[in-house]
Amino acid sequence: MPEPEYPPFSCSTLPDAELLEGDEVILIVDDYPDIVLLLQDFLANQGFPVKTAASASELRRYLEEGGVALALLDIGLPDADGTELLPELKEKYPDTAIVMLTAVTDLQTALDCMRRGADDYLTKPVQFVDLLATLRRILEKRRLTINNRRYQRQIEQARFRMQLLHDLVMQMNSVYLSITRLDEILQAILVGITAEEGLRFNRAFLALFDESGQVLEGRMAIGPGCREEGGRIWQEMRQQDLHFHDIICHIKDHCFTGDSEVNRIVRALTVPADRKDHILIRAATERQSINVVEGRCEYPVPPELLGLLQEESFVVVPLFSPSRSLGVIIADHFVTGEPITADHIHALESFASQASLAIEHCHLYMAMENKIRELEEMASELEKNKDLLVEAERYSAVGHMAAQLAHNIRNPITSIGGTARLLARKTDDPEWLKFLNMMTSEAAKIENTLEDLFSFVEQVKPAREKVSLYGLIHKSLMLQYSALQKKGIEHILILPGEEPDLELDPRLIQQVLVHLIRNSIEAMPGGGELTIEVRILEGGVQVLVRDTGTGIADFNLERASDPFFTTKTFGTGMGLTMVKRIIKDHGGSMEIRNREGGGTVVTLNLPYPTEQESS
C-alpha cells in the first residue's frame, strides 16, 4: 500500500531541523495501538524522531531519562488521568511541551487542561494538518523560550565577567599589590573561572614558576565544592552590592581552606622548566593555549599529568608578561563532562591576561619595595659612616699622638718596673717588699696593655711552645662566661679524648678564640647555642666555632676577613683580619661559611709542627 502524502504546511519560522536539539524526541502517550501507530508513522514521515508509551508509568520513565521535547498525552490512560498528571509534569519538566489528546469535544475539559499547564489541546480523530501545525508552533515556541533563556544567561555571564574584570583592573590600578593582595586577586580570578555566572568550569588550577624560574609549581586551586559556594557569593554580590574587597574576603574564608582533593593535586603539581616537551611548559614558554580532548592534543600529553588530574579533557592557558613566562591556568569540566569550546578558551584567556597583569604588577612592586628598602638602608649607613668619617678625621691626629705617647710611656714604665724589681732584691723589709711588689705587678699590667695596643699595627711573630689547646679553649670560654650567661647562650664542647700535640703561641691563640667567641655572642642577642669542636685529622687539627646566630650574607662571606671590612655601623673591621693573620702565622688557614638552619661556622686549620719547628 503506498504511503499517504500529506500537504506541506508550516506556520513555523524555524526549519524543522532546528525545532529539536540533539537526541530530543516527540513522545506519543496513548493506550490505543492503532492510534499510536498512525501518529508515529505520520511524524516519522515528517522527519521527527518518535517514541511511544502506553501508560503514565512509561511516560515518567522516559521523562526521567531525559530528551523528551514534546509529549502527545492522551487524557484517558489505564493507570492515570492525563489531566491530573499535568501539574506534576510541568513542575518537574518545565521544558517539556505537552499537547493533550482526547476523544471528547468538551470546552470545559480543554480549558481545564490549559489551566493546568498544557500547551495545546487536540480532539480525536486528529487531522494531520492541524497536528503538524500545532507541533511546529509549540516546538518553535519552546525552542525560542529555551534559546532566549540561554541567551539571557550568556548575557548575564558576559556582564558578570566584564564586571569582574573591571573590578580587577580597578584594584590593580588603585593599589600596589603585595604578595597577600596578589593571592586574594588570584583567588577571585579562580572563583570567576568556576562560578555559575562566570566561565562555569568545574575546576581550575594555578601553577607559577618559582623565583629562579627553574620549576613550575602548583600555587592554588578551586574545585566543585567551592564552585557552588562561589555561585552563592556572586548572588550575594548582586543582591547586597558587595564591594570587591568583601567578595575576595568571602572567597578566602569559604573556598580556599581545608584539605580538599584539588589542594592535594595542586600541591603535587611540579614540573621542571627544562622539560620543554611537557605541555604545561610548552604552553607557558610558547604562550599558546592547549586544549586536551580525551587525553590527546597536537603534542604528547604526559600520562602522569592525566593521572594527577584524573581527567582526560582540560585546557591549559598561559600566564605571561612581555618579558617572561609566569605560569599556566588549567581548567576542566571534571563533573559535567561538557566539551571545552573555543568560546570557553577565549573567555578563559581574558581572565588569564588579568591574572598575568596582577602577577607582574606584584613582582614589579615587590622589586621596587626591595630597592627602596636597600636604598634606605644604604642612606642610613652612609649617614652613620659620614659621621664616623668625621670622627675618624677628628681623632686621627689624636690617635697618632696616643701611639707616640704610648711609645714614650713604655720606656719609663719599663724602667720603673725594672727598678722596683732591683730594689726588691736589695731589701728584706716586709713593708718595703709589699710596695715594691705592687709596683712591679702594676707596671707589668701597663706593659701588657701597651703590647696589646701595638699588636694591631705591628707584625708579631708567634712565640710557639707546646701548650694545651683544650686548656686555651676552656680559659677563653671562662673569660666570656658572664657574657654567655647574660645572653642565655648555651655552650657545647666537643673534644676528642686524646689531646693533639701542637706548638702554639698561647697568647695569640687565646686572642683568636676570645674574638671568635665574642663575635658569636654578638650574633645571638636573643640567646642560642655556641659549639666549639676539635677534630683531629691526618695533617693537623681543626677547630670549629659554630653558632646559631644571624649568619653573614652570602655576598659578604668572601670579604668578611678583608682589612677594615665590617657590616657593623661602628667598628674597625680588623678583628677577623687579625684572626686570619695569626692563624696564617701559625702555618694554618681560616674558613668562614654559613651553616644550614642559620648561623656561622668558622673553621681554624692548625697543622702539626714540622721537625724543623720542633727542633
Bigger pLDDT: 464 vs 171: 464
Out of 193-197, 215-219, 280-284, 469-473, which region has the weakest mean confidence (pLDDT)? 193-197
- pLDDT recorded at residue 114: 87
In a domain, 378, yes or no: no
In a domain, 8, yes or no: no
* Mean pLDDT confidence for 368-388: 85
- Residue 325: helix, strand or coil by DSSP? strand
Q: Which residue, of 423, 455, 487, is where some domain finishes?
A: 455
For residue 533, pLDDT beyond 90: yes
Helix ranges (DSSP H) in 331-468:
342-426, 430-455
Pair 51, 163 in one domain: no
For residue 171, pLDDT beyond 50: yes
Task: Read off the C-alpha cell for 100.
Answer: 493533550
- pLDDT recorded at residue 387: 73
For residue 180, pLDDT beyond 80: no
Pair 536, 587 in one domain: yes
Pair 258, 357 in one domain: yes
Full domain range(s) for residue 391: 385-455
- pLDDT recorded at residue 6: 46
- pLDDT recorded at residue 104: 74
Pair 92, 184 in one domain: no
Out of 153-162, 178-187, 203-212, 596-605, which region has the weakest mean confidence (pLDDT)? 178-187
Bigger pLDDT: 598 vs 255: 598
Q: Which residue, of 455, 476, 505, is where some domain finishes?
A: 455
Pair 161, 266 in one domain: yes
Pair 125, 215 in one domain: no
* Mean pLDDT confidence for 524-543: 90
Confidence of residue 205 (pLDDT cuts 50, 70, 90): very high
Out of 271-285, 289-303, 494-508, which region has the weakest mean confidence (pLDDT)? 494-508
In a domain, 1, yes or no: no
For the stretch 70-93, pLDDT in tens is 999 988 888 888 888 888 898 899
Out of 190-199, 252-261, 274-283, 437-446, which region has the weakest mean confidence (pLDDT)? 252-261
Reported for 460-464, long-range contacts at CB under 8 A and 24+ positions apart, including other chains, are 460/508, 461/585, 462/504, 462/505, 462/508, 462/582, 462/585, 462/586, 463/505, 463/507, 464/503, 464/504, 464/505, 464/586, 464/609, 464/613
Structurally, the chain folds into a number of domains equal to: 4
Bigger pLDDT: 192 vs 526: 526
Out of 234-248, 274-288, 390-404, which region has the weakest mean confidence (pLDDT)? 234-248
Pair 432, 519 in one domain: no
In a domain, 373, yes or no: no
In a domain, 10, yes or no: no
In a domain, 56, yes or no: yes
* Mean pLDDT confidence for 289-300: 92
- pLDDT recorded at residue 9: 44
Pair 359, 395 in one domain: no
For the stretch 13-69, pLDDT in tens is 778 778 888 889 999 999 888 889 999 999 999 989 999 999 999 999 999 998 899
Question: At residue 196, what is the residue type?
Answer: E
- pLDDT recorded at residue 237: 53
Query: What is the rounded CA–CA span in Å between residue 189 and residue 230?
Result: 11
- pLDDT recorded at residue 212: 86
* Mean pLDDT confidence for 174-180: 51
Confidence of residue 546 (pLDDT cuts 50, 70, 90): very high
Out of 34-38, 82-86, 424-428, 555-559, which region has the weakest mean confidence (pLDDT)? 555-559
Pair 334, 399 in one domain: no
- pLDDT recorded at residue 3: 46
Pair 179, 278 in one domain: yes
Bigger pLDDT: 99 vs 518: 99
Q: Which residue, of 105, 126, 148, is where some domain finishes?
A: 148
In a domain, 4, yes or no: no
Confidence of residue 565 (pLDDT cuts 50, 70, 90): very low
Out of 14-18, 175-179, 309-313, which region has the weakest mean confidence (pLDDT)? 175-179
For the stretch 340-361, pLDDT in tens is 999 889 888 988 887 888 788 8
**Domain containing residue 80: CATH number:** 3.40.50.2300
In a domain, 25, yes or no: yes
- pLDDT recorded at residue 186: 78
* Mean pLDDT confidence for 534-547: 91
For residue 404, pLDDT beyond 60: yes
In sequence order, the 6+-apart residues with CB closer than 8 A to the CB of 363 are: 321
Pair 127, 184 in one domain: no
- pLDDT recorded at residue 566: 46
Pair 63, 209 in one domain: no
For the stretch 435-471, pLDDT in tens is 888 888 888 767 756 655 565 555 567 888 998 999 9
DSSP state of 2: P
The DSSP secondary structure of 258-317, one letter per residue, reads: S--HHHHHHHH-EEETT-TTSHHHHHHHHT--EEEBTTB-SSPPPHHHHHHHT-S-EEEE
- Number of neighbouring beta carbons within 10 Å of residue 484: 19
**Domain containing residue 489: CATH number:** 3.30.565.10
Query: What is the rounded CA–CA span in Å between residue 533 and residue 531?
Result: 6
Query: What is the rounded CA–CA span in Å between residue 64 and residue 548?
Result: 70
* Mean pLDDT confidence for 103-116: 81
Q: Are 167 and 161 in contact (CB under 8 A)?
A: no
- pLDDT recorded at residue 285: 93
End-to-end CA distance of the chain: 134
**Domain containing residue 234: CATH number:** 3.30.450.40
Percentage of the chain lying above the pLDDT 90 cut: 26
Kindly report the average pLDDT of the chain as a whole number.
80
Strands 489-494, 503-504: parallel, antiparallel or unpaired by DSSP? unpaired
For the stretch 572-585, pLDDT in tens is 334 577 788 888 88
For residue 612, pLDDT beyond 60: no
For the stretch 217-254, pLDDT in tens is 998 888 764 545 545 555 655 566 555 555 555 555 55
* Mean pLDDT confidence for 168-188: 61
